Amino acid sequence: MLSRPADFARLAEGGVGRSHPLLVGRFVRNDLDQTRFAMATGKRLGGAVVRNRVRRRIREVLRAMAPSFQPGWDVLIIARSAIVDADHDALVGALERVLRSGGVLRGTTQR
pLDDT tens figures, 6-61: 888 888 888 899 999 999 999 999 989 999 999 999 999 999 999 999 999 999 99
What is the per-residue pLDDT for 110?
Answer: 45
Kindly state the helix (H) or strand (E) to which residue 75 belongs, with its residue range. Answer: strand 73-79
SS3 32: coil
pLDDT tens figures, 52-89: 999 999 999 999 999 999 999 999 999 999 999 999 99
5-102 has which CATH code? 3.30.230.10
Beta bridge partners of 79: 23
Q: Which residues contact 66 (CB under 8 A, 6 or more apart)?
A: none
Query: Within 10 Å of residue 15's Cβ, how many Cβ atoms?
Result: 18
CA distance 97 to 39: 17
Global pTM value: 0.89
